[in-house]
Every structure is written in C-alpha cells, then in structure tokens.
Amino acid sequence: MYRIGVDLGGTNIAVGVVSPDMKIIGKSSVKTNIPRPADEIFDDIAKAVDMAVENAGIQMNEVSSVGVGTPGTVNKNNGYIEFANNLGFNQVPAKDMLEERIGKPVYLDNDANCAALGEAVAGVGKGAKNFVAITLGTGVGSGIIIDGKIINGANFAAGEMGHTVICFDGKQCNCGRKGCWEQYASATALIAQTKEKMLLDHDSAMWKIVDGNIENVNGRTAFDAMRMNDPSACEVVDKYISYVAAGLVNIINALQPEFICVGGGIANEKETLLAPIREHVDRERYSHYSTRQTEIVSAELGNNAGIIGAALLDN
C-alpha cells in the first residue's frame, strides 16, 4: 500500500505519494493563500491529495493513510492543531476535518518533526534510531527522534531547540526569552550580523556583492565575500559558525544522537559550513573520550523530507 505525505506550509501545500520503498512517485502543490479559514485550506489539501494520486498513476483504494506535517503544536491525542501562528489556527480539529474530506485515516505532527523523521528513515540517517534534524531558516527549526520515535513531550511541544538559550540575557527573541539560539544561528540572524558588520566597514567586499544596497543582503553574502578573502566577511562567518556550533554542542551533550543533520538555506554551504562546525564541536562536547561520536551531516532529502516523514506517521 502507498501512503501520502502532506507538507502544510505558510506559502505552499506540497503533497506526495510515497511508495513502500520510501520513494515519492507522484506530487502536487497548491498555494496556501493565508490568511483564510481552516475549512478552505483543508478543502485544498483534499484536492491536492487527489491530484497527487492521479499524478502517481494509482487509485485512492491503494492508499492506506495520509500524514500531515503542519507548523505549530499538534495534540496527537485528539487530532487538534492547538496553535499555528502563521496559519491563524487555534484549536482546529484537523484530523476529523481532513478524514471527512479525504476518506482515509489522517495522522498529524509538527512539520519539523516530520522532516526529522523523513531524514532519519529515508535520508541521511539511513535508519538511525537516535537522530536530530536542524533547519537554519527564518528561525531554527528542529525535530528529535529517539528510539525511532518522534519526541513530542507531555504537551506535544517538545523539541524546540531554537529556543534554548546560548547567551544569557542576550538578544530579545519573539518567544519572550532573551538569548535564544535562533537569534544567533538562524538565516535571519546571519543576515542581521552581516548588515551590522557592513555598516562598520564600508570598504568590505560585501558592499560590492549587494551592489551597494544593504537591503540586498542574504544568507550567502558573507560566505561569498569570505571566499574573496574579505576580512570583515571572514569575521561574520567565523562568529556565525561558533553560534551554530554552540547549539549543536548543547544537543549532543543532552541527547547524544547518532546523527545531527543540518538543513535549510544556509546548509547549502555544505562542508564550508559543517567542517569548521565539527572543529568547534570536537573541542567543546562533553563526550571527548567516547568511542562513538555524533556525526554532523548535511540534510539529504531537501523539501521531500517533510513529505516522506508525514507519510510515515502512524499515531
């Protein structure tokens, strides 16, 4: 039997039909078009599911279940999306609403958790039982797999590693705390750090890269200028890497996973990012003398991780 995975994002709803060997054999995508009522969004999820099934060349009776990865907090006991800020959802009975529309068992979880499960089972984790996925994007997303299962916690909100503090009384975070990891290690944070450095060094090559317009700065700007041996860019990149490494060391010290995979736009730097991160981690982790160490690797499945992970949901 096939399973269907749905990645419900703030911009797009991506759907894939997943085969028993973890391959996506048919996909579809529609715009989320928020803000709008949950009823309308779920109508479009159902339509996208039908489209993906048609594109896969199979029949709906060959599908066993549908999994949905969504932003926010999912109560897996009752199937409610308790809160998803960017979707405008508050106590939405998503499981019942979607099962009524699709006619198949529907399972839900947080989108970052689904991406972690996808990478652990079908991606770079290759079946690892203890696995953490980190996404360096607008914030720092994370999902934790222990003994092959997603860690949800007592209130289904576990795994928010981006909101662990790495700098006491540091930068204000929109979660209400100060010094959260994502205020230093997200792509948003890197862009802010790049701009701050540029304003202190008007001779930096970073200005040339952005054609003199600081609003053109993105997550690649400092890395690109670093490759031009620009001193200010090198400082930005070195500092940013130390921030990312600080959070990864915390994860390793707390959980000792087999793998931490790093994804998101910044992770496209691959070994330019990960090689120096590993050097920081090697110096700072508690488990210096362990025979088995956590491997820090690049995410492999890209946007398909969330679809495959959602399809694997079964509770």
Structural domains for the chain:
2-120+304-311 (3.30.420.40), 126-185+233-298 (3.30.420.40)
pLDDT, position 174:
86
Q: Cis link prior to 93 (omega < 30° from 0)? A: no
The closest alpha carbon to 240, from 186, 282, 202, belongs to: 186
In the chain the beta strands, taken as DSSP E runs, fall at: 2-8, 12-18, 24-31, 63-70, 73-75, 80-84, 89-92, 106-110, 131-136, 140-146, 149-150, 259-263, 295-298
Tokens of 209: 């890269």
Tokens of 259: 């793998």
pLDDT, position 304:
94
pTM over 0.85: yes
CB 122 within 8 A of CB 301: yes
CB 276 within 8 A of CB 241: yes
Determine whether 270 is exposed, middle or buried from the number of CB atoms within 10 Å of its CB (0-12, 13-18, 19+).
Answer: exposed
Q: Identify the bridge partners of residue 150 per DSSP, sorted by sequence position.
A: 145
Tokens of 179: 């010094």
Q: In 3-state terms, what secondary structure has residue 208?
A: helix
CB 92 within 8 A of CB 38: yes
User: Could you give the angle at the alpha carbon of 84 between the alpha carbons of 77 and 170, nearest 5°?
Assistant: 115
Q: In 3-state terms, what secondary structure has residue 25?
A: strand
Reading the chain (315 residues) residue by residue, the pLDDT tens digits are 999 999 998 889 999 999 999 999 999 999 999 999 999 999 999 999 999 999 999 999 999 999 999 998 999 989 999 998 889 899 999 999 999 999 999 999 999 999 999 999 999 998 899 999 999 988 899 999 999 999 999 999 899 999 999 999 999 998 899 999 999 999 999 999 999 999 999 999 999 999 999 999 999 999 999 999 999 999 999 999 999 999 999 999 999 999 999 998 899 999 999 999 999 999 999 998 899 999 999 999 988 999 999 999 987
pLDDT, position 194:
98
